[in-house]
Amino acid sequence: MAKKRWATFSVADHLNIRSLVPDVLLFDRLAFPYPSDEGEWNLWNKEGWDPKLLEDCLLKLDDLAIPVEWGDKQRQAFRSNMEQADALEQFTFATSVWVRDEDPHQKWEKAKQMTRGMIADFVQEKRGTDFWVMPSYRSRDAFLKDQGVKIAATDRKSRRAALALLVGQRMTVPDDADPKVALGLVIDLAHDDAYRRSRRDLHNWQEDVIQREQSTKDDAQDLADLISDLDSHVTKAAKNTRKQWLFFALKRTLGAAEAVHNPLSAGSAIVESVEFVSDRKRELPLGRIAAFHHVHQRVVEPSVPRSKWCRFS
């Protein structure tokens, strides 16, 4: 039986309610940083992080959400972690995706991802390890940079132990004109027993792939069938829907050359190999799964350039 999965978020992820919709569908719990006192609340208001909107989201999510205290102590730890991360980026490896980047938007994205990782640590310290705690990446680019991976060459056998599977699934999600309405629909679905069983079947399949340590030609079609089951629940519950690609990285140890496979695709599903290329500590220990979202239709497509604006200082 697959473990339950909890997603973690930054101080600003709740500002885009639309982006929370697939998170509610895929994860059992959502953990958010929450202002620890009035001073922190005021700071969030000053930075534009809208703590009142976060509070409204937490009330709607109810038992699906976990608020995690965030205040002076956590921000001090955050600054220390960011300094260490910046020091690591002083080095550029010939095969690494990590490069020094002073772009303010990229700095903001790295800051948010650092917060998500810290929230994951805090949750496991207090709640134990009977579930996977996963930072929720919002783009392929963010995942590649944070985890130090690249799409693996199919003929590279010398580094098989550093490979993982990248599993893509094109899911149906509610798409109401009012994102709060869409959020309400997926919250109802997340409490539906039939939907939760279908989601558990999907998670069981993903963990089975890890345990097998090898993909087969039928894996992409199996994944597509499981996604279809989930989609049927969504289309029944919501009048307006949209398709969104979501990707999972499944870490595994490969013991056979034939496990290094060509990309597999079945329309709504993709199974692809990625390779870890940097020396920094991975946040994907054996058997763990990290999730991230990406709207492109193929793993190998370049990410869309983003705006350089950011609120972080």
**Residues 158-215 pLDDT 10s:** 445 556 777 888 899 999 889 999 999 999 999 999 999 999 999 888 877 766 655 6
Q: Is residue 308 part of a domain?
A: no
Q: Is residue 300 part of a domain?
A: no
Provide the domain limits for residue 231. Answer: 4-293
Q: Is residue 245 part of a domain?
A: yes
Q: Between β-strands 241-251 and 4-8, what pairing exists: parallel, antiparallel or unpaired?
A: unpaired
Q: Is residue 301 part of a domain?
A: no
Number of domains in the chain: 1
Q: Is residue 303 part of a domain?
A: no
3-state DSSP assignment of residue 75: helix
Q: Helix/strand/coil (H, E, C) string of the chain?
A: CCCEEEEECCCCHHHCHHHHHHHHHHCCEEEEEEECCHHHHHHHHHHCCCHHHHHHHHHHHHHHEEEEEECHHHHHHHHHHHHHHHHHCCCCCCCCCCCCCCCHHHHHHHHHHHHHHHHHHHHHHHHCCCEEEEEEECCHHHHHHHHCEEECCCCCCCCHHHEEEEEEEEEEEECCCCHHHHHHHHHHHHCCHHHHHHHHHHHHHHHHHHHHCCCCCCHHHHHHHHHHHHHHHHHHHCCCEEEEEEEEEEECCCCCHHHCCCCEECCCEEEEEEEECCCCCCCCCCCCEEEEECCCCCCCCCCCCCCCCCCCC
Answer whether residue 310 shows pLDDT above 80. Answer: no
Answer whether residue 311 shows pLDDT above 60. Answer: no
Residue type, 136: S
Q: Is residue 302 part of a domain?
A: no
pTM for the complete prediction? Answer: 0.81
**Cβ atoms 117, 8 nearer than 8 A:** yes
Chain-centre distance of CA 148, in angstroms? 15
pLDDT tens digits, 31-85: 999 999 999 999 999 999 999 999 999 999 999 999 999 999 999 999 999 888 7
Answer whether residue 301 shows pLDDT above 50. Answer: no
pLDDT computed for residue 51 by the predictor: 97
Enter the tokens of residue 17. Answer: 């309610």
25 vs 134: CA distance, rounded Å:
15
Q: Is residue 311 part of a domain?
A: no
155 vs 85: CA distance, rounded Å:
32
Q: Is residue 141 part of a domain?
A: yes
